[in-house]
């Protein structure tokens, strides 16, 4: 059976290819006009930069800014594709691609698959979180395909009741796990999303699943995996 792909639809891909460069071109062309209008506001940051842009005039300046806008739009399009999860499903396994990573999960290794808010989550046979990434595709269709191919799909998180709010004074959690959660808390507070995502992966590798709710971290511990990893 051929892989069934989920992610952006064909029309969404066309929109991502075309809309940012077109908007970039329009904004670039009219940027001096916009800058002159902004200068009429009673207060604004970066006034020197805006005054410089407002001073540009003539066809040459408009063309140059238009080209810069197109380039910026193309860069934005590429970034959107880079950050978009693609899921490939067949009878035997699921392959996921996002950013520079590609992972494959065999059906028999998965205990549950579900959507946690906007995130697609895979949980292994040891109740260890194997994958957790934002998914923007059609949720009903991907659920239908998983079920039709015999995957363990759930409409909600079957482990919801097992999560507990992280408490730095909880002595049942190993110091190494506390250190990672503390570091991740700092990343979230400073909007360091890439590092926070990596720390989530590190925690998952130790047997700790993490949810973020109202700026707080909630954890689900797989004690057997934690003991195995930390005692190696």
Beta strands 153-154; 110-116: pairing state = parallel
Q: What letter does residue 156 receive in the DSSP assignment?
A: S
CB 193 within 8 A of CB 177: no
CATH number 3.30.720 given to 88-158: yes
What pLDDT sits at residue 181?
Answer: 96
For residue 171, give both structure tokens.
Answer: 């002595």
Average pLDDT over residues 128-137: 92
- Segments making up each domain of the chain, as ranges: 9-83, 88-158, 163-232
Instruction: Tell me the pLDDT band of 232, cut-offs 50, 70 and 90.
Output: low
**Cα 142 to Cα 96: distance, rounded to the nearest angstrom:** 13
Average pLDDT over residues 86-115: 96
Each residue's pLDDT tens digit, 177-189: 999 999 999 999 9
pLDDT at 60 over 70: yes
Backbone torsions φ then ψ of 120, nearest 5 degrees: -90, 125
Sort residue 127 into left (φ over 0), alpha (ψ -120 to 50) or beta: left
Task: Tell me what the mean pLDDT of segment 145-150 comes to.
Answer: 96
Q: With bands split at pLDDT 50, 70 and 90, how would you rate the model's confidence at 140?
A: very high
Higher-confidence residue: 26 or 222? Answer: 26
């Amino acid at each position: 059976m051929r892989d069934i792909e989920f992610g952006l639809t064909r029309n969404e891909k066309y929109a991502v290819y075309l809309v940012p460069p077109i908007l970039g071109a329009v904004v670039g062309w009219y940027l001096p006009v916009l800058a002159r209008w902004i200068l009429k506001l009673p207060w604004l940051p970066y006034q020197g930069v805006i005054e410089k842009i407002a001073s540009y005039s003539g066809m040459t300046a408009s063309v140059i800014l238009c080209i810069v806008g197109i380039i910026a739009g193309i860069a934005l399009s590429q970034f959107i594709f880079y950050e978009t999860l693609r899921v490939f499903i067949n009878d035997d396994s699921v392959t996921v691609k996002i950013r520079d990573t590609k992972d494959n999960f065999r059906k028999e290794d998965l205990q549950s698959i579900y959507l946690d808010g906007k995130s697609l989550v895979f949980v292994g046979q040891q109740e260890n979180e194997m994958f957790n990434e934002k998914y923007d595709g059609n949720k009903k269709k991907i659920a239908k395909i998983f079920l039709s191919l015999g995957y363990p799909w759930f409409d909600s998180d079957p482990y919801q009741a097992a999560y507990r709010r992280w408490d730095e004074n909880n002595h049942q959690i190993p110091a190494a796990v506390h250190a990672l959660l503390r570091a991740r808390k700092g990343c979230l507070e400073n909007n360091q999303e890439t590092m926070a995502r990596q720390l989530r992966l590190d925690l998952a590798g130790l047997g700790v699943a993490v949810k973020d709710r109202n700026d707080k971290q909630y954890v689900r511990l797989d004690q057997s995996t934690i003991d195995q990893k930390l005692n190696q």
